[in-house]
A and B are shown apart, each in its own frame.
Chain A
Amino acid sequence: MSVRMIEYREALREAMSEEMRRDKRVMLLGEEVAQYNGAYKVSRGMLDEFGARRVIDTPISESGFAGMAIGAAMLGLRPIVEFMSWSFSLVAADPILNNAPKMLYMSGGQFGCPIVFRGNDGAGGQLGSTHSWCVEGLFSNVPGLKMAIPSNPYDAKGLLKTAIRDDDPVFFLESERMLAAKGEVPEAEYLIPFGQARVCRVGTDCTIASWGRPVHFAVDAAEQLAKEGISCEVIDMRTVRPLDIGSVVRSVKKTGCLVVADQSWSFGSPGSELAAQVHQHCFDDLDHYVVRVHSADVPTPYAQNLEAEYLPNARRICEAVRVVTYNT
């Protein structure tokens, strides 16, 4: 069987296009998604195939078009809202946090909100502190929403298809640093259920849990540590809401220690939540307390060298693993 390698952005496009062919209620809107084929060419060709009624260019008005799409979702459509960057979603905080995730609850079950918000998350490479937001710490705090953060093309496609079919609002976090990354994606249709982590490297000495772009840092760290004789098990969480804590618990019971690599800031983050849950479930299995590797607790620097050092990079993950395995 031949192996088909496609880019992360193509995987996203395939997911959206397949779902739009399957379900007429699915539509895409956002800045430059139609005429310009997407600011990052994720939606290339979709205007030609689906027409201007289903692939809609919006003004630069996140609060307006996100709110409009939420109304459309309440009345039965299944909009996909592309934020050019999740950094720009902050001006739409009221509709996406105050309306979409609460609608089912506040309407007493009368209105759901089957919507997908997607876009680039995290430091994209010298974009400065206002355009480098990791929103997972802020937004995963809100009950009523789901959050997927795929690290590779295969997961991006399978999770996005699941997100579009989900009856709840899904926050789908991508990264411009991964859009051009290629990975194997089969021709045949598949879906990846939410709340199911994936072991992307098996090991015995230390568990590293991560999601999104830092999964790559974790894999790099694991390769380096293997040369030092430390065997790491890397788990890609894939979704943080729901969080597949069971998979991490099983791994930690084997290795006795855990390092969490999380691109968001440390205070009140998915990483701190994961650590707290592991301490709860694995108290007697831990040989060391959980160590978290986050972005540094400062606004994202602009300078290239500082940005690289700010991120939860492979070197910092290696240091953390040596600490929790007492190999310092």
Chain B
Amino acid sequence: MSIKLTMPRLSDTMEAGTIVRWNVKVGDRVQSGSAVADVETDKATMEMQVFDDGVVACLVVPEGRQVPIGTLIAIIAEEGEDPQQVAASNAAAGVSSAGGGASLRSPAPEATRAPTAEESSARCSPLARKLADHYRIDIATLKGSGPGGRVIKRDILAAAGVESTEDMPLGDTGSAAVLGSAAGTEGITEIPSRSLAAITPGAIVPIVALPQPTIVVPGREIALSGMRQTIARRLVESKTTIPHYQVSMRFAMDAVLELRVMLNGQLEPQGVKLSVNDFIVRACAIAMQTHPYFNASWAGDRIVIHGAVNIGVAISLPAQRGGGLVVATIHSADQKGLRQISLDTKALAEKARTKGLGIEDMSDATFTISNLGMFGVDNFTAIINPPNSAILACGAAVEQPVVRNHQLVVGHEMLATLSLDHRVIDGAMAAEFLQTVRHNIENPATLLV
């Protein structure tokens, strides 16, 4: 942009100034601080300095002429601008030069008064300025019809002799987002209707498939504890190498529950409190005498029948200890009574949940029991705990209508599900084992003596 020099206010009372002498001529290079002219004010003759760098393109006011402050007196082309072009374009805008350097000293007292900066630029709407460019109309030649003489669209159209701007391409919508689109129309959906009540709604917006409503909480990652890594490794190994199958049987629990109440009542002073699980451990342990394949391991080329009956009991750990589960071993469970099984189980569970089990507490199990009955689970299947051949999954003893002696009565039943290694144990063997365990549970005197 070229720099327009105007008559400065050089004293408080100055209203107009006279260019006594130009110290530069067209084509001269000036820099900030150059004294380009001597100006006579009402008080004195002073130097007029410029504050920009450039080349003098045009001296508008000749020497000897007095003009009001603010009047354009010279134009300076900035770096990179062609001074001649600057002068030419200003001439086109109605600014007439005071002449070349050679004629500077020949005053032209009645030279055309240049319009002020305000007059030449401010009184025009932005749209009118754009239209003037389009139709190549010199705004300075127009008298604006808007407020204060503002040149408006109407004035440009009149000067151009056109009725409307429909031939002008609409500009880009800038960075504004044009949202939505409907049936091939972009952005605005146009309804050529005069009143809102008469809108034809079917034409407005098609049904838009919105995402199903959900609250999305971002996921997170949990580093694996050593226990979780072990659980993962062993259970994947079990589930992918052992041919699992399941066999379930329903046990009538009334007798054992009744016995438990009686025993716990009598043994309370001794601090003994038997759980249902203790009875199941005992029932399974003594079943091993007649079903040795349930106390066995698959060894690739042979089956190993174990001598000791060590029953593993799955214990879940509290969240504050990192969660997970361990299998605690009740060694020689077939040689232990209910009281000892109960004490051993409680001690192991307490140890597991406080300071953690040692290796010896978790080794050598030959059969495992997992019981989710205390959580109200009806039925589930478990994954075999290698190198066991079987695991018993016990649900809750549920009070429910049952048929006893052809009568519908209320009784307690528990669903027990064996998971088995078919390489060691066949289905009929599983059924027989469950029958024995059921007999032990339903006739609990067996468990006592």
- Known A-B contacts A244-B180, A287-B153, A326-B146; the reply to A192 vs B128 at CB < 8 A is no
Q: Of all chain A residues, which has the CB nearest B164? A: A204
Residues of B within 8 A of A184 (CB): 197-201
Cβ contact of A198, chosen from B174, B204, B214, cutoff 8 A: B204
Q: How far is the CA of A185 from the CA of B197 in the complex (A)?
A: 10
Asked whether, in the complex, the Cβ of B171 is within 8 Å of the Cβ of A245, the reply is no
- Known A-B contacts A185-B201, A189-B207; the reply to A281 vs B175 at CB < 8 A is yes
Residues of A within 8 A of B145 (CB): 326
Asked whether, in the complex, the Cβ of A190 is within 8 Å of the Cβ of B205, the reply is yes
Q: How far is the CA of A111 from the CA of B195 in the complex (A)?
A: 43
Nearest-Cβ distance from residue B9 to partner chain A, whole angstroms? 31
Cβ contact of A219, chosen from B126, B182, B196, B217, cutoff 8 A: B196
Residues of B within 8 A of A47 (CB): none
Asked whether, in the complex, the Cβ of B190 is within 8 Å of the Cβ of A246, the reply is no
Residue A148 lies at the interface, judged by CB distance under 8 Å to chain B: no
CB-CB contacts below 8 Å: B124-175 with A: 125-130, 145-146, 152-154, 164-165, 170-171, 173-175
Residue B206 lies at the interface, judged by CB distance under 8 Å to chain A: yes
Nearest-Cβ distance from residue B157 to partner chain A, whole angstroms? 10
- Known A-B contacts A246-B178, A254-B170; the reply to A235 vs B188 at CB < 8 A is yes
Asked whether, in the complex, the Cβ of A285 is within 8 Å of the Cβ of B171, the reply is yes
Q: How far is the CA of A251 from the CA of B178 in the complex (A)?
A: 12
Asked whether, in the complex, the Cβ of B176 is within 8 Å of the Cβ of A246, the reply is yes
Residue A286 lies at the interface, judged by CB distance under 8 Å to chain B: yes
Residues of A within 8 A of B188 (CB): 197-199, 235, 247, 250-251
Asked whether, in the complex, the Cβ of A287 is within 8 Å of the Cβ of B173, the reply is no
Q: Can you list, as one digit per residue, whether each of B263-294 has a CB less than 8 Å from chain A (1) or not (0)? A: 00000000000000000000000000000000
Q: How far is the CA of A236 from the CA of B152 in the complex (A)?
A: 28
Q: How far is the CA of A158 from the CA of B176 in the complex (A)?
A: 25
- Known A-B contacts A246-B187, A256-B127; the reply to A223 vs B194 at CB < 8 A is yes
Nearest-Cβ distance from residue A291 to partner chain B, whole angstroms? 13
Asked whether, in the complex, the Cβ of B199 is within 8 Å of the Cβ of A200, the reply is yes
Q: How far is the CA of A162 from the CA of B164 in the complex (A)?
A: 41
Residues of A within 8 A of B193 (CB): 200-201
Residue B102 lies at the interface, judged by CB distance under 8 Å to chain A: no
Q: How many residues of B contact A (CB 8 A)?
A: 52
Cβ contact of B176, chosen from A192, A201, A249, A287, cutoff 8 A: A249
Cβ contact of A109, chosen from B128, B196, B198, B217, cutoff 8 A: B217
Nearest-Cβ distance from residue A192 to partner chain B, whole angstroms? 5
Residue B192 lies at the interface, judged by CB distance under 8 Å to chain A: yes
Residue A165 lies at the interface, judged by CB distance under 8 Å to chain B: yes
Asked whether, in the complex, the Cβ of A196 is within 8 Å of the Cβ of B125, the reply is no
Residue B226 lies at the interface, judged by CB distance under 8 Å to chain A: no
Q: How far is the CA of A199 from the CA of B205 in the complex (A)?
A: 12
Q: Of all chain A residues, which has the CB nearest B154? A: A326
Q: How far is the CA of A114 from the CA of B176 in the complex (A)?
A: 28
Residue B213 lies at the interface, judged by CB distance under 8 Å to chain A: yes
Residue A315 lies at the interface, judged by CB distance under 8 Å to chain B: no
- Known A-B contacts A167-B215, A247-B178, A256-B153; the reply to A162 vs B210 at CB < 8 A is yes
Nearest-Cβ distance from residue B52 to partner chain A, whole angstroms? 27
- Known A-B contacts A196-B189, A284-B126; the reply to A114 vs B173 at CB < 8 A is no
Residues of A within 8 A of B165 (CB): 256
Residues of B within 8 A of A196 (CB): 179-180, 182, 189, 205
Asked whether, in the complex, the Cβ of A190 is within 8 Å of the Cβ of B206, the reply is yes
Q: Which interface residue of B174, B182, B189, B210 has the most chain A CB atoms within 10 A?
A: B174
Residue A39 lies at the interface, judged by CB distance under 8 Å to chain B: no
Asked whether, in the complex, the Cβ of A219 is within 8 Å of the Cβ of B171, the reply is no
Q: How far is the CA of A196 from the CA of B208 in the complex (A)?
A: 12
Binding site for B on A (CB under 8 A): 1, 23, 25, 76, 78, 109-112, 114, 151-152, 154, 158, 162, 165, 167, 181-186, 188-193, 195-202, 204, 215-216, 219, 223, 235-236, 242, 244-247, 249-251, 253-254, 256, 277, 280-288, 326
> Besides A152-B197, A253-B173, A281-B173, 20 other CB < 8 A contacts?
A152-B199, A167-B216, A183-B199, A186-B201, A191-B205, A192-B204, A193-B179, A195-B179, A195-B180, A200-B193, A202-B192, A223-B194, A235-B188, A244-B177, A245-B176, A247-B178, A250-B178, A254-B170, A281-B176, A287-B152
* Top 8 A-B pairs, shortest CB-CB distance: A246-B178, A196-B180, A287-B127, A247-B188, A154-B201, A287-B153, A281-B174, A246-B176
Can you list 13 contacts pairing A with B, beta carbon distance less than 8 Å? Answer: A78-B213, A184-B198, A190-B207, A193-B205, A193-B208, A223-B194, A246-B176, A281-B173, A281-B176, A285-B126, A286-B125, A287-B127, A287-B128
